[in-house]
């Protein structure tokens, strides 16, 4: 019932927008930032943020933004970040069904043809990505990635992915799943006709092993 209550809380428009704002932020944010981001009163933002924390959708952390400590440093600021736990309806999004179909399909075809599983998986992942891109409603690359749960964050010609829809699988089998994800996103860009973007392995620690780079950044 707690998960149901948490999801139901997001039906309230301001609360949902605040949750999305906090989820998209790379670092915990405070009440003033949240209020400014949504252009609402600070008291309103504080009420909804605390309610989201009570429901387990957000976590509260305390930190001194100045970096100072000791006497005279002031009280730590109350900050909010998305909770690490997953709820039954899957926020953030997970797409284990898609990964399961791709992996099972590659194993079956490999068994029939003798082709290495890794090669089949790479090809089928790219084909699946192309289909996802072609069937997406007309939208930007970032909007399409957001729709499929990748939580894109675009900065200076690069799109980092704030969520991995295959997180648990990638943690256990990073070589296989991260290559699958790379080919899937390469196909997605092809299906969207987004020739200005390319999927690249992301060597930096983070939620996802792939990032997107624009042609201008690659040049």
Instruction: Read off the pLDDT of residues 161-190 as tens digits, 9 standing for 90 and up.
Output: 999 999 999 999 999 999 999 999 999 999
Q: Is the pLDDT of residue 87 over 90?
A: no
Task: Give the orientation angle of helix 13-24 with respect to helix 42-54, to 10 degrees.
Answer: 80
What are 98's two structure tokens? Answer: 């898609």
Distance, CA of 134 to CA of 11 (rounded, Å):
30
The residues near 91 (Cβ < 8 Å, ≥ 6 apart) are 7, 57
**Domain match, 76 and 153 both:** no
Q: From residue 107, how far is each of 17, 94, 101, 174 by CA, in Å?
A: 41, 22, 10, 17
Mean pLDDT, to the nearest integer, of 27-32?
94
Residues 101 and 44 in one domain: no
pLDDT, residue 219, reads 54
Regarding whether 120 and 67 lie in a shared domain, the answer is no
Write down the pLDDT at residue 82: 92
Domain final residue pick, 27, 55, 82: 82
201/216 Cα distance (integer angstroms): 18
Q: Is residue 172 part of a domain?
A: yes
pTM for this model (two decimals): 0.63
Percent of the chain with pLDDT over 70: 88
Q: Can you give the residue range of the structural domain that contains 23? A: 2-82
Residue 68 lies in a domain: yes
* Chain centroid to CA 8: 21
| Average pLDDT estimate for 44-73 | 82
* Range list of H helices, the chain: 2-9, 13-24, 31-38, 42-54, 96-113, 117-135, 141-147, 167-172, 174-192, 215-218
């Amino acid at each position: 019932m707690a998960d149901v209550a948490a999801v139901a809380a997001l039906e309230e428009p301001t609360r949902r927008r605040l949750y999305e704002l906090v989820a998209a932020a790379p670092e915990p944010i405070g009440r003033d930032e949240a209020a400014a981001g949504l252009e609402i009163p600070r008291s309103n933002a504080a009420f909804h943020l605390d309610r989201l924390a009570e429901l387990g959708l957000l976590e509260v952390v305390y930190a001194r933004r100045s970096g100072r400590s000791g006497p005279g440093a002031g009280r730590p600021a109350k900050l909010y970040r998305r909770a690490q736990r997953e709820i039954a309806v899957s926020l953030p999004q997970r797409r284990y069904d898609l990964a399961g179909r791709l992996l099972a399909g590659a194993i079956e075809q490999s068994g029939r043809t003798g082709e290495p599983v890794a090669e089949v998986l790479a090809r089928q992942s790219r084909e699946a990505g192309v289909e996802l891109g072609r069937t997406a409603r007309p939208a930007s690359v970032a909007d399409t990635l957001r729709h499929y749960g990748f939580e894109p964050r675009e900065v200076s010609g690069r799109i980092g992915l704030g969520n991995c829809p295959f997180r648990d699988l990638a943690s256990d089998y990073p070589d296989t799943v991260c290559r699958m994800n790379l080919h899937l996103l390469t196909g997605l860009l092809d299906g969207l006709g987004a020739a200005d973007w390319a999927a690249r392995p992301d060597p930096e620690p983070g939620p996802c092993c792939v990032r997107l780079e624009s042609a201008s950044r690659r040049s």
